[in-house]
Amino acid sequence: MRICSQLRATALAVAVLAAGMRAPARAHFILVAPEASKSQGPFGDPQKLGPCGEEGTATPTGVVTTFHPGDTIEVMVDEVIFHPGHYRVALAVNDRSELPPDPAVATVGKDPCGSTTIEDPPMLPVLADDMLPHTQPFDAPQTFTVTLPDDVTCTRCTLQIIEYMSNHGRPCFYHHCADIAIAGDAATPTATPAPSDIPSMTATATLTALTTAIATATATVSAPCDGDCDGNGSVTIGELITLVRIALEELPIATCAAGNPDGNLQLTIGEILTAVNRALIGCAPP
């Protein structure tokens, strides 16, 4: 009888060991994307202790994935051991201590992880809750999207993904984190660039540039009276200043149609120099 009891105990121990080898209770999901901040075992371990799977001695990956404010990003998980449940995503901008604690759970029947609270709508630091709710196993890695805040930037912040599991002994959550950067884009100029043949001018340099243009102008006369805005047969310094202001987009080109003889609505430096010549040598007789 004693031998039989020993045999039964041995058989039970072997069965428990075999079950543990088939489905280790220590790990349940792998964070595929963004890349996790720590190396993961074949079942996603370590992940049992919050906020980011603090048990064990996993090696930091050193990977920081860069996004931009307001980006909608993809999170991919591979659930290697099934439990009914869902996923939650949170963001810590300055320090992981900003990550919220695991949600409260309540026992339902004999299930100590029978139910949990869900943030609806989520509020920072929680970005999304109740993602991929499921009661059946997935047959492949799953992807869901999360939108980053449009008013947050950081060089190294923490994106936390936790899995809630029912039909499971406590703890009811497993944890992974990814190091990310949220980098603002460089300011984009809103002004339309001037045509390449119009030199850059500032208000203070306008008269200097005009004086230099008058002194060095050698362009060939191409029209009877280019730059004669008022049509009185001569080009004055005031009309030359008007052309410069048109080039600087301070005045509409219609202010002096004579300064744009080809009618293409783009005042070039060549047309301004032609007007300068007209101011120097006078308009050709009609």
- pLDDT attached to residue 226: 86
Residue 258 DSSP symbol: G
Tens of pLDDT, residue by residue over 33-46, are: 999 999 999 889 99
Placement of tokens 């990977």 in the chain? 63
What CATH number matches the domain at 206-281, 3.40.50, 1.10.760, 3.90.550, 1.10.1330? 1.10.1330
Q: For residue 172, give the nearest of 103, 261, 69 by alpha carbon.
A: 103
- pLDDT attached to residue 19: 40
What is the spatial distance between Cα 240 and Cα 279, in angstroms, rounded to a whole number?
Answer: 8
φ/ψ (deg, to 5) at 24: -60, 135
What CATH number matches the domain at 26-182, 1.10.110, 3.30.230, 2.70.50, 1.10.760? 2.70.50
User: 0.75 cut: is pTM over it?
Assistant: no
- pLDDT attached to residue 207: 56
Domain residue ranges of the chain, discontinuous segments joined by +: 26-182, 206-281
- pLDDT attached to residue 285: 55
- pLDDT attached to residue 224: 59
- pLDDT attached to residue 63: 96
**Mean pLDDT in residue range 187-204:** 44
Task: Using the predicted structure, report yes or no on whether residue 90 has a pLDDT greater than 50.
Answer: yes
Q: How confident is the model at residue 213 (pLDDT cuts 50, 70, 90)?
A: low
Tens of pLDDT, residue by residue over 262-286, are: 877 777 888 888 888 888 878 865 4
Show the beta-strand stretches assigned E in 35-184.
64-67, 72-79, 85-92, 105-108, 111-116, 126-134, 142-147, 154-165, 173-182
**Mean pLDDT in residue range 178-200:** 59
Task: Using the predicted structure, report yes or no on whether residue 24 has a pLDDT greater than 60.
Answer: no
- pLDDT attached to residue 233: 83
96 burial class (0-12, 13-18, 19+ CB within 10 angstroms)? middle
Tens of pLDDT, residue by residue over 5-14, are: 443 443 444 3
What is the spatial distance between Cα 256 and Cα 273, in angstroms, rounded to a whole number?
Answer: 15
- pLDDT attached to residue 92: 97
Placement of tokens 């884009």 in the chain? 185
Average pLDDT value for the chain: 80
Q: How confident is the model at residue 214 (pLDDT cuts 50, 70, 90)?
A: low
